[in-house]
Structure 1
Amino acid sequence: MAASLDFYLWARDTIGESGGAVYRLHGKAGAPDLFLKHGAASVAGDITDEMARLLWLADHLPVPEVRHFVRTDDAAWLLITAMPGRTAFQCLEDDPGAADTIVDALAAFLRRLHAIPIDTCPFTSAHPHRLARARARIDAGLIDLDDFDEARAGWSAERVWDAMQALLPLAPDPVVTHGDFSLDNILMIDGAVAGLIDVGRVGIADRYQDLAILWNCLHEFGGGLPERLFDQYGIAAPDQAKLRFHLMLDELF
């Protein structure tokens, strides 16, 4: 891998909370920009998960291309192409007048993702699976309480856990989900979605796994955008219990 990185300029990407190191490689004449992700211990497992999902998802949706992957007993390195476009967050921030069009494009792309046949997907992100991981993270003291949404500011991890348990069971509605369908993980060009990044949580889960996160992100921009998301997606009456559950589940990751 090292030889292929000669003559690139390196810039550390500090956006995100993966726990690993992410570098943008740029400035090499005649060569595309790349991203290099590196992590040890549990982060190495997350990087491995992303590599496997990128390879599978490439047959269905535009995602970064895997150029190289190395895994040792306690570390992983993933080299991928940089995708063109700006994040959906940047698009909404820079052009508020296009907000309705942007949300319509996001809803259409989410329907496309959720239409991938689940029998083709080898990964699970269903909430029983993620609850087990969340419980392990709570017990290990890995929850960042300061990063909770305003609605749960001051809560303990155990309070979030108990509130989720009170909402179970949930009627299953499995689809292929992104797992972290936030505005920062969606790239757009000319008002259309151009691709997805940070796909390490892709797997079969309830469709509200994606809907809840995007719905929550859109509240920052107001203007009826959260409601428009569900209208354009095709849900007349959102399931409030599923929204609350999946937003609380996201607090634990």
Structure 2
Amino acid sequence: MMDPTALARGLERALAREGWPPPHGLSRLTGGAMMESWLFASGDEQLVLRRAPSPEMMERSAYGHDVEAQIISLAHAGGVTAPEIIAQLAPEDGIGTGFIMRALPGTADPRSILACRDADSLLRDAARELAVIHALDVDRAPAGVPHVSYADALAGLREQFRDAGNDRPIIALAIAWLADNIPDEIAPVLLHGDFRLGNLLVDDGRLSAVLDWELVHLGDRHEDIAYACMTVWRFARIDRPALGLGLFEDWFAAYEAAGGAAVDRTRVHYWLVYRTCWWALGCLGMARYWRSGEDRSLERVVISRRTAEQELDLLMLLEQSAPQAEQDRPLPPPRAMPHNISGEASTAEIATAISEWLATIKDGVTGHDRFQLAVARNALGIIARGADSGADSGAHAQDFTLAQDLLTGAKSLATPHLLANLRRMALGKLAADMPKYPALALARARWGDITEQGEQ
């Protein structure tokens, strides 16, 4: 993370070009898996800086911050509740790439948003914003905005899977299903690409801004509609599949009522599988960022273990394709747990002890450091649970041969016992990596898992 003093000097240079006063009150905003966000004041105005933590990270992006700023300006002018761009960073500012925008009121915290009194109105607000985004003139989109065919999008998943080792059976199963069910192309629209809770500001129960435009591309509108409904973005409200705010049919009806084209449910399911697979591979890739040295933040390695969440979600999306006999087959028994040990402290006990100590100092930590402390405690929980289960859950999930059999069609969900074994694999991995993920309890209930598994 850049020194705040150096950051303030660079901001002062960028603001001066647009006639704004020097910055003050600079503070890092929490969250943001890919980009940094900083809140500060210039005169009496509250502004936000959005920047890349490293130049190398932007090399992996489809376009730079200059194009992203143009997209946000296009959306703002087109009636989307998007921020107003104030200035763009230049190389001579010495603080990387990014841009400055006017701050808007509200919170992006999903749990605060889900506690709002009128979820129905907020769902309609979100549907209206998405319909307006999809109505933007694609001919006015900046030249750098990509349009990837469905076949090329699937090829991109295959390439990411190869880079990740080609050895995760549930991801292989999803890629094979996507290849077998690829839809016909329809006229592309401008997609936000990351439209979900966490990227929406809400003020007094109403949507006040659509944020984070770095994944904009041209494509099937159903991709955005589905992405907002991914299980991971429902947070604590797994019973409300549309943004954690309402039911699928409520979401579709609100989108259509706001001027969006008629929603095709089959396409929504396809893109729900696609984006869940995409995020599973994105989580796996976080570990590569850390290993390469591009970003050695603790958050990277912990996000990589969230792959387990997406693998469970994929299996729950795809299991309906299995013969009924395989859907009804009981789970195999779980791996045997090690007996209690005596003597010196185990790895699990050491990790638990460190986590408990960190809990005693969290009240003295503020801002982004407090967020990182929570991430550290999460990481220690992963270590403790993995040690208790007798194996590293990430390594335990690897099965190159089975993954290849699924990719080639040599095995499928019709293969006897395959679905039951994949279910057990997904449950065990998620119980070690992210046991508080709401879908875990749902899957256990659906699959008849009666094993008791403690949570750290």
* Same fold per superposition (TM over 0.5): yes
Superposed displacement of residue 48, structure 1 = 4.8
- Given that 1:177 and 1:205 are in contact with CA atoms closer than 8 Å, whether structure 2 keeps it comes out as yes
Q: CA deviation at 1:27?
A: 5.3
Write the deviation string for residues 190-216 of structure 1: whole angstroms up to 9, x where unpaired: 444332211011121111121111122
The CA distance in 1 between the partners of 2:279 and 2:170, in whole Å, is 14
For 1:63, the equivalent position in structure 2 comes to 83
Query: Which segment drifts farther, 165-174 or 40-49?
Result: 40-49
Structure 1 equivalent of residue 58 of structure 2: 43
- Residue 46 of structure 2 corresponds to residue 26 of structure 1: no
Mapped contact 1:125–1:201 kept (Cα < 8 A): no
How many angstroms apart in 2 are the aligned matches of 1:142 and 1:76? 32
1:12 & 1:155 partners in 2: Cα distance? Answer: 39
User: What is the match of residue 404 of structure 2?
Assistant: none
- Amino acid corresponding to residue 273 of structure 2 in structure 1: R
**Would you tell me which structure has more helix in proportion to its own residues?**
2
Deviations 1:7-43 (A, max 9, x none): 534433441321x5x1413256534232241222133
Which of the two has greater strand per residue? Answer: 1
Other-structure match for 1:89: 110
Q: Find out whether 1:243 has 2:272 as its counterpart.
A: yes
Query: Number of residues paired by the alignment?
Result: 239
Moved more, 164-173 or 5-14: 5-14
Matched letter for residue 17 of structure 1: A
* Aligned counterparts of 2:72 and 2:225: Cα–Cα separation in 1: 19
Report the secondary structure of 1:8's partner residue. Answer: strand
Question: Which residue matches 2:338?
Answer: none
Call closer, same or farther: CA 1:135–1:84 in 2, change over 3 Å.
farther
Structure 1 residue 44 displacement after superposition: 4.5
Once the two structures are superposed, residues 211-241 of structure 1 have per-residue CA deviations (whole angstroms, 9 ceiling, x without a partner) of 1111223485235433311121124652233
Residue deviations 1:66-87 (CA, integer Å, cap 9, x gap):
5222459xx9421322333222
Which residue of 172, 176, 180 maps to 1:158?
Answer: 172
Q: Which amino acid aligns with 1:102?
A: L
Displacement over 6 Å in runs of 4+:
none
Counterpart-to-counterpart distance in 2, 1:104 and 1:3? 37
Which structure 2 residues correspond to residues 1-253 of structure 1 after superposition, within 5 A?
A: 2=10, 4=12, 8-18=24-34, 20=35, 22-26=36-40, 30-38=44-52, 39-46=54-61, 48-59=63-74, 60=78, 61=80, 62-70=82-90, 76-81=96-101, 82-87=103-108, 89-90=110-111, 92-95=113-116, 97-121=117-141, 122=143, 123-126=145-148, 127-141=150-164, 157-216=171-230, 217-218=233-234, 220-221=236-237, 222-223=239-240, 224-234=246-256, 235=262, 238-239=265-266, 240-253=269-282
Q: 1:10 to 1:106 in 2, by over 3 A?
A: same
Identify if the C-alpha distance between structure 1 residues 193 and 14 changes in structure 2 by more than 3 Å, giving closer, same or farther. Answer: closer
Cα RMSD for the two superposed structures = 3.4
Amino acid corresponding to residue 161 of structure 2 in structure 1 = I
Give TM-score, length-normalised by structure 2.
0.45
Q: Give the aligned residue type for 1:139.
A: R
Instruction: Evaluate the alpha carbon distance shift between residue 37 and residue 44 of structure 1 in structure 2; reply closer, same or farther with a 3 A threshold.
Output: farther
Is the 2:89–2:97 Cα contact (8 Å) retained in structure 1? Answer: yes
2: CA distance, partners of 1:8 / 1:244: 45
CA distance in 2, matches of 1:28, 1:120: 31
Judge conservation of contact 1:183–1:214 (CA < 8 Å) in 2: yes
- Report the 3-state secondary structure (helix = DSSP H, G, I; strand = E; otherwise coil) of the residue aligned with 2:127: helix
For 2:105 and 2:173, how far apart are their aligned partners in 1? Answer: 41
CA drift at 1:132:
4.4
Give the unaligned 5+ runs of structure 2.
1-8, 14-21, 241-245, 257-261, 283-456
Separation in 2, partners of 1:17, 1:142: 23
Q: Secondary structure at the match of 1:41?
A: helix
State the partner residue of 1:150: none
- CA distance in 2: counterparts of 1:110 and 1:175, whole angstroms: 11
- Scaled by the length of structure 1, the TM-score of the pair is 0.76
SS at 1:79 equivalent: strand
Instruction: Determine if contact 1:37/1:77 at 8 Å carries over to the other structure.
Output: yes
The alignment partner of 1:183 has SS state of coil
Q: Is the radius of gyration larger for structure 1 or structure 2?
A: 2
Is contact 2:25–2:40 with CA below 8 Å preserved after alignment?
yes
Q: Deviation of residue 106 (structure 1)?
A: 0.7
Task: Give the secondary-structure state (helix, strand or coil) at the position aligned to 2:99.
Answer: strand
- Relative contact order, higher structure (CA 8 A, sep 6+): 1
Offset, 1:163: 2.9
Tell me the SS of whatever aligns to 1:109.
Answer: helix
* TM-aligned CA distance change 1:3 to 1:110, over 3 Å: closer
Greater shift after overlay, 183-192 or 208-217?
183-192
**Structure 1 residue 45: deviation in Å?**
4.9
What is the DSSP-based 3-state SS (H/G/I as helix, E as strand, rest coil) of the residue aligned with 1:215?
coil
Query: Identity of aligned pairs, percent?
Result: 18
